[in-house]
Each structure stands twice: as C-alpha cells, then as structure tokens.
Amino acid sequence: MEYSKTYVAKDEHIDVQEIMDGLYYPFYMEYCRHDYIREILGFDFETEAKNGIYMVLSGYTISFIRSLKRGDEFKVTCTLYKDKEGLPKLHFKQTIVCNNKLMTQAVFTGTCVPATGGRPYLPASVLEKITDAPVLEQ
C-alpha cells in the first residue's frame, strides 16, 4: 500500500542556488514515514519510547534526480516492505514527486531496539500489521 503526504518547499530550505538543499529531502521523507508508522502501523514513537522500545534507522540509500525549488508543492510517498531474509527490519521505499516528475527516491531501513540495549527486533504489534507486506527484493 502506498501512503503519501503533500508538502511545500519552505523558503528556509532553499540554498543560494535557489534549489532545496539536499539535507532537507530526507527530512520530508521522515515526516511522511513517521506519519505512516503512527497512522498505519499504530506505533507512536513517544509512547513506545516511554515503554522502552526505540524504533531506529539502520541505514538508507537516496538518489537525487531533480531539484525542488522555492514554493514547489510536492508529494512524498512511503511503501513498506518486509525483509527478504526474514530479519527484524522494516524497509520503506520512498519517493518525492513534483508535477508528476520523480525528484528523489530512497530506501530507508529500520528496526526496533530495547531502550536498555539488546538485539534488534520487531514488536508483535508491528509484526501482525506487516504480514501482507511485500518483500523487498534488492
């Protein structure tokens, strides 16, 4: 299932070249991904942190194809994938699209860890919601 949110490039994110600084693309993807995790997976970062469960990124790859400009309205998408090897990882394929053109694409990988330290895992509440998710073939 593809999830999406719409944003507008903020003036303070525009650099001297009049394009959005590359630093901010992952932030917009994070906003969308966190909303997906909260709304669809039912995992609230603040509540779960208080319960001793941290959801963290373990890596990401990103490709910049075109640049966003001041005031551009754009859509950020997020699609969840399970791990091919059955590891306790969540993979999120994400894109930024503006005027029906692909601007940026990325894959973010995350997992959960106990706040007290320990091995990565996915809580049962998350596992039950991802049973039908496709597997990331990468």
| Each residue's pLDDT tens digit, 51-105 | 999 999 999 999 999 999 999 999 999 999 999 999 999 999 999 999 999 999 9
The contacts found for 40-46 with CB under 8 angstroms, 24 or more apart, are 40/1, 40/3, 40/80, 40/129, 41/80, 41/126, 41/129, 41/130, 42/125, 42/129, 43/123, 43/125, 43/126
H-run or E-run covering 78? strand 73-82
pLDDT of residue 47 exceeding 90, the answer is: yes
Alpha carbons 41 and 67: distance in angstroms, whole number: 31
Cβ distance 133 to 93 under 8 Å? Answer: no
Question: What is the model's pLDDT at position 94?
Answer: 98
Cβ distance 105 to 76 under 8 Å? Answer: no
What is the pTM assigned to this prediction?
Answer: 0.95
So where are the chain's domains?
2-127
In CATH, the architecture of 2-127 is Roll (3.10)
Alpha carbons 66 and 28: distance in angstroms, whole number: 15
Model confidence band, residue 1 (pLDDT cutoffs 50, 70, 90): confident
DSSP designation for 138? -
Average pLDDT across the chain, whole number: 96
For Cα atoms 84, 129, 52, give the angle at the middle one, nearest 5 degrees: 95
